[in-house]
């Protein structure tokens, strides 16, 4: 199921995420029952607070892990980070929903602020995972770069096309948060998982390489590859659009010149006819 809604701003929003059929009615229900003091700005601040909560929780996970614990089992900061993902969804999703429900949209300001905070929150979450010890900080930063590049691609396409596509391959912010919640709960019960080098013959794995490090490396590779491929595809498509627009502009200009030429010829013919009449 897809959603296309045109706000009062400069772009059309398209949401084709896997959970959109559940998320949309839930957000509308919450927005319709939110008290008046729950404004879009309040929810934006609430979502930002939740991002900071996730970061701090991962910091505390790393602190406990570095203190000498054998694994991460029953580390309640992981549950706190999972709660942060839930609260972040509430704040980040409800701010725009409330604005549209109450017809108090500020499309330019809202778009700029919301996605600036999204970038800030993304940095906090990825760095928090790296600092926590779940994954290698450098590899996690590599995945973060891929995610930010993909965000840039989405925003550039929004600017040049007027269409804001909120998802890629069915995954949007909501699905990614859900994955984060599941991962945190998994580590809470299972603990840290280290890779066995024998499982990956021919691949150099540093000592104590974690499963999350491998996952983040794969995610980073996929995101950056997707960004490069999508950028090439988008550039070709936009080039075709520009060429078509330029050809149309040239055709219109030639048509206008032809019209003016015929008009001048008509005037000249009238002038010659008038001159001959006077001579006669």
pLDDT of residue 4: 44
Digit-coded pLDDT (tens) for 82-141: 999 999 999 999 998 999 999 998 988 988 999 899 999 999 999 999 998 888 999 999
pLDDT per residue as tens digits for the range 184-199 = 999 999 888 888 776 6
Is residue 240 pLDDT above 50, yes or no?
yes
What is residue 195's DSSP assignment? Answer: P
- Residues 128-158 as b/e (b if ≥16 CB within 10 A, e otherwise) read bbbbbbbbbbebbbbbbebbbbbbebbeebb
Class of the CATH domain delimited by 3-238: mainly alpha
198 DSSP assignment: G
pLDDT at 7: 44
pLDDT category of residue 221 using cuts at 50, 70 and 90: very high
Contact 51, 84 (CB under 8 A): yes
Domain ranges (residues) in the chain: 3-238
pLDDT digits (tens, 9 = 90+) for 17-27: 778 888 889 99
Model pTM score: 0.82
pLDDT at 65: 65
Going by pLDDT thresholds of 50, 70 and 90, the confidence category of residue 251 is: confident
Is the distance from CB of 121 to CB of 147 less than 8 angstroms? no
């Amino acid at each position: 199921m897809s959603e296309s809604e045109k706000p009062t701003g400069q772009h059309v929003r398209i949401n084709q995420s896997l959970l959109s059929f559940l998320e949309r009615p839930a957000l509308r229900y919450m927005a319709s029952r939110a008290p008046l003091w729950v404004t879009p700005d309040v929810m934006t601040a609430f979502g930002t607070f939740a991002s900071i909560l996730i970061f701090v929780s991962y910091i505390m996970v790393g602190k406990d892990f570095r203190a000498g614990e054998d694994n991460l089992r029953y580390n309640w900061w992981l549950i706190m980070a999972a709660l942060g993902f839930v609260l972040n969804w509430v704040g980040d999703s409800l701010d725009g929903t409330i604005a549209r429900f109450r017809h108090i949209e500020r499309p330019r300001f809202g778009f700029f602020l919301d996605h600036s905070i999204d970038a800030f929150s993304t940095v906090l979450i990825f760095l928090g995972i790296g600092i926590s010890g779940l994954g290698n900080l450098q590899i996690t930063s590599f995945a973060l770069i891929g995610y930010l590049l993909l965000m840039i691609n989405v925003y550039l396409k929004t600017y040049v096309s007027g269409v804001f596509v909120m998802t890629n391959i069915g995954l949007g912010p909501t699905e990614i948060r859900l994955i984060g919640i599941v991962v945190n709960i998994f580590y809470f019960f299972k603990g840290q998982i280290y890779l066995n080098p024998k499982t990956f013959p021919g691949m150099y794995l540093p000592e104590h390489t974690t499963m999350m490090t491998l996952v983040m490396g794969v995610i980073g590779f996929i995101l950056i590859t997707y960004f490069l491929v999508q950028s090439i595809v988008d550039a070709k498509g936009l080039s075709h659009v520009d060429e078509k627009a330029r050809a149309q502009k040239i055709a219109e200009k030639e048509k206008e010149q032809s019209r003016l030429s015929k008009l001048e010829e008509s005037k000249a013919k009238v002038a010659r006819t008038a001159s001959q009449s006077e001579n006669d």
